[in-house]
């Protein structure tokens, strides 16, 4: 299937989901006016992908420094889909990346980590000046 | 009128208000206002954590006005109306505060005030637990967001959410909020 590539805007994140490489990346900030519309294609892609992807390990790279409350729900729902895949035995690893001095981004990551049961969810501190 | 402008400006300064907007809210405006605010706070050497917290409260309150304010401007066959409200950011001593005000329907008042009182009575752990539960459950039928906004703001605030309301006419109240960060 085709990759999903959405360029970042002032208030929506960069999203690059690669089907062949089994790599999903989401980075930037998220506070769109209409969260449901923005994330609809993301959910659709992920749903289709998770039905087809084989035994390869799926790597999910997240680096979001801010998201509003409705994005929090959308992101949780995306993670929940991944969590279900993991519960079914698929190898899914999430890397939650945050800048060293950014304790809010760390807390956001911890919030997700605590709420997802089967997912391998790792918090990765980046040195300053690194894009990762 | 011009003398009033000076009085208004001085009055705002006395209250510690650095930035104040009254008018129609759009997503673009919120993004610009937020960006300018963050730049100003960084110029003031505020920690990145503080900057994100204040920004976060500004975005939540502004988007609440954007989605829910009952005071509308314009709107025709093709276009949705703009929603009106007010938003201010200030600093007193070491505390930043964010103020918002907008019209709500009278019947919403009780539910809002009850909810805020409930959140104000919770500690950080309880707020975190409620956040987690609500996030998993999903939004109510009237919500354009996830119903998490107030919990999010409570978690970031350094004190209770203050609110007050005033009757404007039979159907509406002017509802205002103050959140310290």
User: In this predicted model, what pLDDT tens digit does every residue of B41-74 receive, in sequence order?
Assistant: 999 999 999 999 999 999 999 999 999 999 898 8
Pick from A31, A72, A114: CB nearest B59: A31
Indicate if the pLDDT at residue B30 is higher than 90: yes
> B179 with B98: CB under 8 angstroms?
yes
Best A12, A30, A32, A70 residue to mutate vs chain B (most B CBs within 10 Å): A70
Q: Which residues sit opposite B100 in a β-bridge? A: B87, B177
Helix (H, G, I), strand (E, B) or coil at B53: helix
Side-chain half-sphere exposure of A38, counting CA atoms within 13 A: 22
Q: Which residues sit opposite B86 in a β-bridge? A: B22, B101
Q: What is the pLDDT of residues B87-113, one digit of tens each?
A: 999 999 999 999 999 999 999 889 999
Q: Do B59 and A72 touch (CB under 8 A)?
A: no
Best A67, A69, A77, A100 residue to mutate vs chain B (most B CBs within 10 Å): A69
Reference A21, options A37, A47, A2, A45; nearest CA is A2
Taking only residues 68 to 127 of chain B, the set having a beta carbon closer than 8 angstroms to any beta carbon of chain A reads none
Cα distance between residue B181 and residue B176, in whole Å: 17
Check the CA dihedral B128-A12-A106-B34 and report its sign.
negative
Could you tell me which chain A residue has the CA closest to the CA of B131?
Answer: A111
Q: Looking at residue A132, what is its pLDDT?
A: 47
Indicate if the pLDDT at residue B140 is higher than 70: no
Check the CA dihedral A63-B32-B176-B170 and report its sign.
negative
> B147 with B139: CB under 8 angstroms?
yes
Q: Do A69 and B148 touch (CB under 8 A)?
A: yes
Indicate if the pLDDT at residue B139 is higher than 80: no
Does B149 contact A at CB distance below 8 Å?
Answer: yes
Indicate if the pLDDT at residue B37 is higher than 90: yes
Tens-digit pLDDT string for chain A (132 aa): 999 999 999 999 999 999 999 999 999 999 999 999 999 999 999 999 999 876 788 999 999 999 999 999 999 999 999 999 999 989 999 999 999 989 999 999 999 999 998 999 999 999 865 454
Taking only residues 122 to 141 of chain B, the set having a beta carbon closer than 8 angstroms to any beta carbon of chain A reads 128, 131-132, 135-136, 138-139
pTM greater than 0.90: yes
Q: Do B146 and A102 touch (CB under 8 A)?
A: no
């Amino acid at each position: 299937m085709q990759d999903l590539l959405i360029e970042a805007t002032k208030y929506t994140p960069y999203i690059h989901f690669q089907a062949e490489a089994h790599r999903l990346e989401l980075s930037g900030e998220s506070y769109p006016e209409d969260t449901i519309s923005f994330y609809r294609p993301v959910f659709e892609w992920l749903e289709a992908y998770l039905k087809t992807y084989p035994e390869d390990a799926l790597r999910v790279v997240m680096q979001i420094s801010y998201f509003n409350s409705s994005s929090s729900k959308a992101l949780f729902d995306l993670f929940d889909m991944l969590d279900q895949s993991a519960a079914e035995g698929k190898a899914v690893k999430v890397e939650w990346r945050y800048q060293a001095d950014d304790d809010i981004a760390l807390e956001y990551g911890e919030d997700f980590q605590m709420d997802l049961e089967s997912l391998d969810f790792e918090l990765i501190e980046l040195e300053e000046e690194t894009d990762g | 009128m011009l003398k009033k402008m000076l009085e208004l400006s001085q009055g705002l300064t006395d209250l510690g208000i650095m930035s104040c907007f009254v008018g129609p809210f759009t997503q673009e405006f919120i993004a610009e206002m937020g960006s300018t605010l963050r730049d100003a706070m960084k110029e003031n050497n505020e920690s990145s954590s503080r900057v994100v917290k204040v920004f976060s409260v500004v975005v939540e309150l502004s988007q609440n006005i954007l989605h829910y304010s009952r005071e509308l401007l314009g709107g025709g066959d093709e276009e949705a109306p703009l929603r009106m409200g007010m938003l201010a950011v200030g600093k007193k001593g070491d505390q930043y505060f964010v103020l918002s005000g907008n019209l709500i329907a009278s019947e919403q008042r009780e539910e809002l005030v009850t909810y805020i009182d409930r959140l104000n009575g919770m500690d950080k752990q309880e707020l975190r637990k409620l956040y987690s539960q609500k996030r998993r459950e999903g939004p109510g039928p009237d919500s354009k967001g996830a119903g998490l906004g107030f919990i999010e703001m409570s978690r970031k605030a350094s004190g209770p959410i203050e609110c007050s309301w005033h009757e404007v006419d039979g159907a509406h109240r002017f509802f205002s909020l103050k959140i310290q960060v």
